[in-house]
Amino acid sequence: MKTSLSTRQRDMMQYIRRFAQENNRTPTLREIMDALHISSTSVVDYNLKQLVAKGELRRNPKISRGIELTDARPVSEDRISIPIMGTIAAGAPIEVPESIPDPQTWGDTVELNPTMMDLRNEGLFALRVKGYSMVDALIADGDIVLMRHQQTAENGETVAVWLDHEKTTTLKKFYHEGTRVRLQPANVTMQPIYAAPDEVAIQGKLMGVIRQVAR
């Protein structure tokens, strides 16, 4: 049922797409008319109706600028922005922010949508990974790790923990074990660290990883 478009209709589609792209809104009949040197809005209207019939567009009567592109609208507009707050470097303490600052002041951000990662938008922040200090957690140099601010952890969750004696923060799997906590590297060949609960402070929890290896 792939009805073909007339030249004019194809031109109109192209114009509407470009216009929407550039202006964040769809054009009016008259804008289309002027751009394509059509002599009457009724001609535009006529062809618009054809395009609607052919499924290329939707139109909302009663609403000015009511043209809508049928394709350009994956529901995933529920996109969330996450601020990139700094860097994790091998050995160096992780820069974990005290709190998430005002969105206005964010610099770099990562924008996620549910098709790729479905996170509750709450206390999220991101860090760039520098070096290979976390290969044992399957995290490489250049990765971006997504974290959520939180002070507690369930057993088995990977968290950023502040170690009081080392004066550093590292990324480990967390386990409560009665009077002590066990911090387990993801790499099974490495030894866990044990500590008293009040010697460690959970800074955040690992939610996801993004890695780009080529372009």
Partner DNA sequence: TATAAATACGAACGTATGTTCGTGTCAATG
Partner DNA sequence: CATTGACACGAACATACGTTCGTATTTATA
Query: Among 212, 210, 161, which residue's Cα sits nearest to residue 185?
Result: 161
- The kind and range of the H/E element at 128 are strand 124-130
Q: Work out whether strand 109-112 and strand 57-59 pair parallel, antiparallel, or are unpaired.
A: unpaired
Window contacting DNA (CB under 7 A); options: 13-21, 32-40, 146-154, 163-171 = 32-40
- Is residue 133 part of the annotated active site? The answer reads yes
> Which member of 64, 76, 133, 167 is catalytic?
133
- Interacting residues with a second copy (CB under 8 A): 17, 20-22, 24-26, 64-65, 68-69, 72-78, 81, 108-113, 115-120, 135, 138-140, 144, 148, 157-158, 205-215
Least spacing, CB of residue 131 vs a second copy, in Å: 14
Among residues 61, 74, 103, 178, which is the contact residue for DNA, using CB under 7 A? 61
Least spacing, CB of residue 44 vs DNA, in Å: 7
SS3 letters for 38-67?
Answer: CCCHHHHHHHHHHHHHCCCEEECCCCCCCE
Phi, psi (deg, nearest 5) at residue 21: -55, -50
- Is residue 172 part of the annotated active site? The answer reads yes
Q: Does 170 bind DNA (CB under 7 A)?
A: no
Catalytic residues: 133, 172
